[in-house]
């Protein structure tokens, strides 16, 4: 057995497991940041969505994404991983239906596993956006669409050898492919659903709705941070010592920098260091470094993180002011910083790590790469938002997407699941006054 294939396969599988584990991270962050009356529902959504992803990506998604085909989508080996494949042959020697991944010499099912857990991440991001008001089965239905169709089509453009890849668009581990897809689809959901009951007053003022369990939130964030050591360094799909070591550190440094800047900025704006903001700062740094993690220096990663931490705080406040009701800050984290991170490739990339392509603006490459990155951001935004919005409307017209107002007030746990997360604990409305973040900034 070729030891390189052994090592590469181990690396790919172990990092895929870490990314799989991010499902728990998202479940904990999103549940912790929402109210107790909806907590079973959010746990359930973030749990079953990976089952949905596993089936949808196996049946159709992988083929659409990586099958040989047109610039728009894959057409060979479309269903059930059914195409010929001679992995672990690599490059020129590869003969099969999934040429776009011929650069890594691991077995087909290892590639599938790694790509599956990525697809699942995009779907789970949506869960946070639509939390506390969506019907359970409507969310499941949307999960099949995003993982079976939306995610893999864009994935074909970017990682499947499609038209964006051919233009030189760079998105190493998916600031656009994973995070902004989740964000755009979630934004469409938010607009289709409308805000939660009681979030915005008639006079335009905003009510803060604090999460019910910050311990859960922090557990989630640490699991996500751990998972990102799979997400980014694993995207090599090969145990390349230099690359994976460096990506670990660019990833970690951006997260750390963003935590510090988000904490400082939120303290300046809100008066005190809010743990939720530090958590979202961490995630923002991780999202932002995801696209450029392999192409930039540690110092650049530090700067990217610092900016990401500022962006996320402003975005949380900004989305709220626009009355876009994003219960857990998912848009601020995944959409705003997904876009920012993608553009960072055009700003901070250095040609020593992007062979055959221009450096970013700050490293003498001019505007070339930045232009390509911008084109990708816009194209993905238009396609994903459009198709997702249509899907939500279709679901609205058929099965309905929003629970009744009575159910929403009582809580989705009783309404959708007939149970409570903590049936023996006595709960109440939060004791401290509902002063919204926007109001605290205004003061």
- Of 6-35, binders to a second copy (CB under 8 A) are 6-7, 9-11, 13-14, 16-18, 20-21, 23-24, 27-28, 31, 35
Q: Is 374 in the site for a second copy (CB under 8 A)?
A: no
H-run or E-run covering 385: helix 368-398
Residue 44 in the binding site for a second copy (CB under 8 A): yes
Q: Report which DSSP code applies to 207.
A: -
The smaller minimum CB distance to a second copy, of residues 375 and 417, is found at 417
Residue 249 engages a second copy in binding (rule: CB under 8 A):
yes
Q: Which residues contact 361 (CB under 8 A, 6 or more apart)?
A: 346, 347, 367, 369, 370
Which of 414, 438, 439, 441 binds a second copy (CB under 8 A)? It is 414
**Binders of a second copy in range 281-340 (CB under 8 A):** 282, 298-299, 302
CA distances from 32 to 38, 169, 212, 254, 309 (A): 10, 36, 6, 24, 21
The one among 29, 65, 81, 315 contacting a second copy by CB under 8 A: 81
109 binds a second copy (CB under 8 A): yes
Residues 378-407 that bind a second copy (CB under 8 A): none
Does the protein bind a second copy through residue 236 (CB under 8 A)? no
The count of C-alpha atoms lying within 13 angstroms of the C-alpha of 266, restricted to the half-sphere facing its C-beta, is 27
CB atoms near residue 136 (< 10 Å): 16
Residue 423 touches a second copy, criterion: CB under 8 A: yes
The residues in 150-169 that bind a second copy, with binding defined as CB under 8 A, are: none
Cα separation, 280 vs 326, in Å, equals 13
Q: Minimum distance between the CB of residue 184 and a second copy, rounded to whole angstroms?
A: 25
Is 91 a binder of a second copy (CB under 8 A)?
A: no
Q: How far apart are CA 227 and CA 223, in angstroms?
A: 6
360 prior amide bond cis, ω within 30: no
CB of 107 or CB of 318, closer to a second copy: 107
Window 265 to 284, contacts with a second copy (CB under 8 A): 270-276, 278-279, 282
CB atoms inside a 10 Å sphere around CB 414: 15
What is d(CA 45, CA 206) in angstroms, rounded to the nearest whole number? 27
HSE of 39, CA atoms in CB hemisphere, 13 A: 21
Residue from 126, 146, 239, 265 touching a second copy (CB under 8 A): that is 239
Strands (E), 244-374: none
Q: Is residue 200 helix, strand or coil?
A: strand
If we measure between CA atoms, which residue out of 290, 74, 94, 101 comes closest to residue 109? 101
Query: Of the candidates 90, 180, 373, 421, which one interacts with a second copy according to CB under 8 A?
Result: 421
Contact mark string toward a second copy, 51..70, x via CB under 8 A = xxxxx--x------------
* Single residue of 47, 163, 362, 383 touching a second copy by CB under 8 A: 47
Give the residue, chosen from 98, 113, 159, 169, that forms a contact with a second copy under the rule CB under 8 A.
113
- Nearer of residues 202 and 272 to a second copy, judged by Cβ: 272
Q: Which is nearer to a second copy, 307 or 381 (CB)?
A: 307
- Measured in degrees and rounded to the nearest 5, phi and psi for residue 306 equal -55, -45
Contact 15, 110 (CB under 8 A): no
137 burial type by CB count under 10 A (0-12 exposed, 13-18 middle, 19+ buried):
middle
- Comparing CB distances to a second copy, the nearer of 52 and 343 is 52
**112 interacts with a second copy by CB under 8 A:** yes
92 exposure class (CB count in 10 Å sphere: 0-12, 13-18, 19+): exposed
Count CA within 13 A, CB hemisphere, residue 163: 10
Q: Which tokens in the block code for residue 412?
A: 């989705």
Residue 206, strand partner residues: 200
What is the footprint of a second copy within residues 194-233 (CB under 8 A)?
A: 210, 212-216, 218-219, 221-223, 225-226, 229, 233
Q: Applying CB under 8 A, which part among 109-117, 127-135, 169-177, 357-365 lies near a second copy?
A: 109-117
| Minimum separation from the CB atom of position 350 to a second copy (A) | 15
For residue 192, the Cα-to-chain-centroid distance in whole angstroms is: 20
φ, ψ dihedrals at 134, nearest 5°: -90, 145
CB 33 within 8 A of CB 328: yes
User: Using CB under 8 A, which of 263, 354, 373, 391 touches a second copy?
Assistant: 263
Q: Pick the binder of a second copy from 97, 193, 256, 336 (CB under 8 A).
A: 256
Q: Does 97 bind a second copy (CB under 8 A)?
A: no
Q: Kindly tell me which of 375 and 402 has the beta carbon lying closer to a second copy.
A: 402
Give the residue with the Cβ less far from a second copy, 180 or 263.
263
Q: What minimum distance in Å lies between the beta carbon of 260 and a second copy?
A: 5
Number of residues that bind a second copy (CB under 8 A): 111
């Amino acid at each position: 057995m070729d030891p390189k294939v052994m090592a590469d396969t181990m690396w790919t599988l172990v990092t895929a497991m870490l990314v799989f584990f991010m499902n728990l991270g998202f479940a904990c962050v999103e549940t912790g940041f929402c109210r107790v009356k909806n907590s079973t529902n959010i746990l359930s959504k973030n749990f079953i969505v990976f089952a949905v992803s596993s089936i949808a990506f196996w049946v159709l998604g992988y083929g659409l994404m990586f099958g040989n085909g047109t610039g728009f989508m894959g057409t060979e080996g479309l269903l059930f991983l059914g195409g010929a494949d001679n992995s672990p042959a690599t490059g020129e020697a590869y003969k099969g239906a999934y040429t776009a991944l011929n650069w890594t010499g691991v077995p087909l099912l290892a590639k599938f596993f790694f790509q599956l857990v990525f697809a699942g991440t995009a779907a789970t991001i949506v869960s946070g956006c639509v939390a506390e008001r969506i019907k359970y089965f409507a969310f499941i239905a949307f999960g099949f669409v995003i993982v079976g169709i939306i995610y893999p089509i864009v994935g074909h453009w970017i990682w499947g050898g499609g038209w964006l890849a051919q233009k030189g668009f760079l998105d190493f581990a998916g600031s656009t492919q994973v995070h902004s897809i989740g964000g755009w689809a979630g934004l469409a959901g938010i607009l289709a659903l409308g805000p939660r009951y009681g979030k915005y007053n008639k006079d335009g003022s905003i009510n803060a709705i604090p999460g019910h369990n910050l311990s859960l939130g922090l557990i989630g964030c640490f699991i996500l941070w751990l998972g990102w050591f799979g997400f980014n360094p694993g995207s090599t799909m090969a145990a390349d010592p230099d690359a994976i070591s460096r990506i670990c550190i660019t990833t970690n440094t951006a997260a750390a920098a963003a935590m510090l800047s988000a904490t400082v900025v939120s303290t300046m704006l809100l008066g005190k260091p809010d743990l939720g903001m530090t958590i979202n700062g961490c995630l923002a740094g991780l999202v932002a470094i995801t696209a450029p993690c392999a192409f930039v220096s540690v110092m650049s990663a530090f700067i990217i993180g610092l900016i990401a931490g500022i962006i996320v705080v402003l975005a949380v406040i900004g989305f709220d002011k626009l009355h876009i009701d994003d219960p857990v800050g998912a848009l601020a984290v995944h959409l705003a910083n997904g876009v920012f991170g993608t553009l960072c490739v055009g700003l901070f990339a250095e040609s020593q790590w992007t062979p055959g392509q221009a450096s970013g603006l700050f490293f003498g490459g001019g505007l070339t790469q930045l232009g390509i990155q911008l084109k990708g951001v816009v194209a993905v935004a238009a396609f994903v938002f459009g198709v997702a919005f249509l899907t939500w409307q279709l679901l609205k017209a058929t099965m309905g997407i929003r629970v009744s107002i009575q159910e929403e007030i009582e809580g989705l746990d009783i309404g959708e699941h007939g149970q409570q997360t903590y049936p023996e604990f006595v709960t109440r409305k939060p004791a401290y006054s509902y002063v919204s973040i926007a109001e605290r900034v205004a003061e």
